[in-house]
C-alpha cells in the first residue's frame, strides 16, 4: 500500500524524502550512541551505531560513496567523543572495504551476512583505533591489548546483534527507491 | 557541462552537503545532536528525576546533611572568628542523560547546560567524591570527562603521608596512581584526594582508596585506587564551579 503511494510521487519528491531519511537516520544513530538501554549493553559497551550505518550504506554502493559516508560519520563521531585520535580513518576504511566486498559473491545481503560484516568491521576499526592510540600516546601495545581485548569483542558482538535494526528499514527503503527510479526512467 | 551536471550534479551536491554538515557538526562539537537528544529524552527524564529525588532524600542522606549543616555552621563561626572571607559557592544538581559513545572514551552527558550556569572546567562530583570535569557545554547539556577515562590525568596526594602523584583512568572503577618519588609510603586502605599541584581540579577533593600497591613497578611505584563513587550506577551528580589554573582546550 505504502509502495503504491510512493510510486505515484514525483521522483524529485522521492529524492528529497530520501535525503531526509539519510540525514535523519544518521542523526538517530548518533543519538543512540549515548543511550544505554537494557539489552543494548554488553560489559559496558553499546553497539557502534555509526559503524553499522556505514556498513549498511556501503553494502550496495561503490567505493567512493562508502569512503564519503565514512568521512562524514567519522567527523560526527569525533564531535561526539574526542577528536584525538580521529575516527575518520577507520570509518573510511570500513566504507571502502564493505563496498568492495559486494563485488565478490559472498554477501547476499541477508541478516546474517550483514551481522557478520559488522562483526568483522568492528574488529578492524577498533584495531586501527588501538594502533592510533599507541602511536599518539606512546602507550605500549601490550597495555592497550590488555585493556581492550574483551571490550572489542563485546562491542563486535553487540554491534552485529543490533545491525539488522538499522539494516532492515534502510535497506528496504533504498531497494524500493531503486525499483521506482528504474521504473520511472524507463517510462521516460 | 550541462550533460555532466545532469548526470552527476545531484550526487555531487549531496556529497558536498553531507561532508559540509559533518564538518559543521565537528566544528560545533555536535551541539545540535546533543541538544536534540536532550529534548528527546527529557520527557522520560522528568519522571525518573522525581523518583531519584525521592531516593536521594532518604534517611541516611538527611542525617549526613544535618551533620554537614552543623559542621558548616561551626566552620562559618570559626571563619568569622578568623576574619576569613568565604566566597558563596553555588552548586548545580544535574541528571546523567547519556553515557559515553564507544569503547575508547569514558564520558557522560548531563542534562544541565549553559542556561543553568554550567561552564567548561567546572568540577563534577557524585556522592562520595569527585568524578570528572566539564569539557563541553551546550545550552541544555554538558559533557563530562570522567577520571576513569585513560586520557584523564589528575594530580593526587595520599592524605596520610602527603606523597604526591597523579592518577590515570583505566576505563573501569579502578584507576592507577603513579607516584613522583621513588619510595612512597603508601598502604592499602589509604585515602587519596586531589592535590594542590593539580591545575584542573581544586585541592582536597576525595577520590578513592588504595586497593593494592605495586612497589616493583619502575621508575616509581604504582598503586591501584578504587574510586569512591560507583560510576556505573551513578544517575545524579553535583556540579561545582571551578576555574582551571590553565587554559583548557
User: Do B33 and B104 have their domain in common?
Assistant: no
Distance CA B120, CA B90 (A): 15
CB neighbour burial string for B120-130, b if at least 16 within 10 angstroms, e if fewer: bbbbbbbeebb
pLDDT digit string, tens, across residues B175-223: 888 888 776 678 888 888 888 888 888 888 888 888 888 877 767 778 8
Residue A43 touches partner B, C-beta closer than 8 Å? no
User: Do B24 and B122 have their domain in common?
Assistant: no
User: Do B141 and B234 have their domain in common?
Assistant: yes
Distance CA A56, CA A166 (A): 7
Closest residue to A27, CB basis, from B36, B99, B105:
B36
Q: How far is CA A43 from CA A38, A122, A157, B168, in A?
A: 12, 16, 11, 21
Q: Percentage of chain B surpassing pLDDT 90?
A: 0
- Inside any domain, residue B47: no
B109 falls in which pLDDT band (50, 70, 90)?
confident
User: Do B108 and B186 have their domain in common?
Assistant: yes
Distance CA A70, CA A73 (A): 5
- Inside any domain, residue B50: no
- Inside any domain, residue B44: no
- Inside any domain, residue B77: no
Can you name the residues that pair with B132 across neighbouring β-strands? Answer: B124, B146
User: Do B101 and B195 have their domain in common?
Assistant: yes
CB neighbour burial string for B190-209, b if at least 16 within 10 angstroms, e if fewer: bbbbbbeebebbbeebbbbb
Query: Which domains are assigned to chain A?
Result: 2-187 (1.10.1760.20)
Q: What is the pLDDT of residue B237?
A: 85
Nearest CA in chain B to A153: B103
- Inside any domain, residue B157: yes
Q: What is the pLDDT of residue B229?
A: 82
Q: How many CB atoms lie within 10 A of CB B119?
A: 14
A104-128 mean pLDDT: 78
Q: How many CB atoms lie within 10 A of CB B114?
A: 14
User: Do B148 and B26 have their domain in common?
Assistant: no
The answer to whether A26 and A134 have CB atoms below 8 angstroms apart is no
- Inside any domain, residue B76: no
Residue B107 touches partner A, C-beta closer than 8 Å? yes
The answer to whether B214 and B223 have CB atoms below 8 angstroms apart is yes
User: Do B164 and B225 have their domain in common?
Assistant: yes
B134-139 mean pLDDT: 87
Å from B29 to nearest chain A CA? 4
The CATH number linked to B111 is 2.40.10.340
The answer to whether B214 and B154 have CB atoms below 8 angstroms apart is no
ipTM of the complex: 0.71
Task: Tally A–B CB contacts below 8 A.
Answer: 86
Q: What is the pLDDT of residue A1?
A: 45
Residue B29 touches partner A, C-beta closer than 8 Å? yes
Which residue range forms the structural domain that includes residue B30?
2-39
User: Do B93 and B214 have their domain in common?
Assistant: yes
The answer to whether B163 and B179 have CB atoms below 8 angstroms apart is yes
- Inside any domain, residue B217: yes
User: Do B224 and B116 have their domain in common?
Assistant: yes
User: Do B16 and B139 have their domain in common?
Assistant: no
User: Do B157 and B238 have their domain in common?
Assistant: yes
Å from B25 to nearest chain A CA? 6
Distance CA B233, CA B66 (A): 25
Q: Say whether pLDDT at B66 is over 70.
A: yes
The total domain count for chain B is: 2
Q: How many CB atoms lie within 10 A of CB A96?
A: 17
Among A6-15, A165-174, B68-77, B167-176, the minimum mean pLDDT is found in A6-15
Greater model confidence, B89 or B175: B175
- Inside any domain, residue B163: yes
Q: Which of A45, A82, A122, A148 to mutate to test the interface with B (most CBs of B within 10 A)?
A: A82
B225-247 mean pLDDT: 80
User: Do B214 and B96 have their domain in common?
Assistant: yes
Amino acid at each position: 500500500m505504502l509502495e503504491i503511494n510512493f510510486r505515484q510521487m514525483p521522483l524529485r519528491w522521492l529524492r528529497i524524502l530520501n535525503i531526509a531519511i539519510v540525514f535523519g537516520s544518521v542523526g538517530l544513530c548518533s543519538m543512540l550512541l549515548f543511550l544505554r538501554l537494557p539489552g543494548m549493553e554488553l560489559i559496558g559497551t553499546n553497539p557502534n551505531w555509526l559503524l553499522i550505518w556505514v556498513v549498511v550504506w556501503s553494502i550496495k554502493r561503490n567505493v567512493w560513496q562508502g569512503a564519503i559516508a565514512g568521512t562524514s560519520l567519522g567527523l560526527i563521531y569525533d564531535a561526539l567523543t574526542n577528536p584525538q585520535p580521529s575516527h575518520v580513518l577507520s570509518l573510511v576504511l570500513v566504507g571502502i572495504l564493505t563496498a568492495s566486498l559486494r563485488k565478490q559473491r559472498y554477501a547476499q545481503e541477508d541478516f546474517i551476512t550483514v551481522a557478520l560484516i559488522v562483526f568483522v568491521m568492528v574488529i578492524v576499526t577498533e584495531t586501527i583505533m588501538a594502533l592510533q592510540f599507541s602511536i599518539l600516546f606512546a602507550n605500549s601495545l601490550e597495555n592497550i591489548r590488555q585493556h581492550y581485548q574483551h571490550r572489542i569483542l563485546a562491542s563486535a558482538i553487540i554491534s552485529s546483534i543490533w545491525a539488522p535494526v538499522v539494516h532492515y528499514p534502510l535497506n528496504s527503503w533504498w531497494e524500493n527507491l531503486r525499483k521506482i527510479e528504474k521504473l520511472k526512467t524507463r517510462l521516460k | 557541462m550541462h550533460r555532466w551536471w545532469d548526470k552527476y550534479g545531484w550526487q555531487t551536491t549531496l556529497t558536498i552537503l553531507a561532508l559540509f554538515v559533518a564538518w559543521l557538526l565537528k566544528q560545533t562539537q555536535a551541539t545540535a545532536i546533543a541538544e536534540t537528544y536532550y529534548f528527546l529524552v527529557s520527557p522520560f527524564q522528568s519522571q525518573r528525576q522525581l523518583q531519584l529525588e525521592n531516593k536521594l532524600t532518604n534517611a541516611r542522606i538527611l542525617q549526613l546533611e544535618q551533620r554537614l549543616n552543623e559542621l558548616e555552621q561551626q566552620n562559618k563561626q570559626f571563619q568569622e572568628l578568623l576574619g576569613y572571607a568565604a566566597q558563596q559557592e553555588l552548586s548545580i544538581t544535574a541528571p546523567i542523560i547519556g553515557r559515553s559513545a564507544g569503547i575508547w572514551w569514558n564520558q557522560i552527558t548531563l542534562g544541565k547546560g549553559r542556561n543553568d550556569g554550567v561552564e567548561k572546567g567546572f568540577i563534577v562530583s557524585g556522592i562520595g567524591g569527585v568524578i570528572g570535569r566539564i569539557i563541553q557545554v551546550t545550552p541544555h547539556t554538558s559533557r563530562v570527562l570522567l577520571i576513569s577515562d585513560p586520557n584523564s590525568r589528575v594530580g593526587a596526594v595520599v592524605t596520610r603521608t602527603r606523597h604526591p602523584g597523579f592518577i590515570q583512568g583505566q576505563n573501569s572503577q579502578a584507576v592507577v596512581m603513579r607516584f613522583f618519588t621513588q619510595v612512597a609510603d603508601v598502604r592499602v586502605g589509604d585515602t587519596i584526594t586531589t592535590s594542590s599541584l593539580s591545575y584542573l581540579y581544586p585541592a582536597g577533593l576525595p577520590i578513592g582508596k588504595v586497593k593494592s600497591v605495586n612497589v616493583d613497578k619502575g621508575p616509581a611505584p604504582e598503586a591501584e585506587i578504587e574510586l569512591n563513587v560507583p560510576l556505573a550506577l551513578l544517575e545524579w551528580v553535583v556540579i561545582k564551579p571551578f576555574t582551571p589554573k590553565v587554559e583548557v582546550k
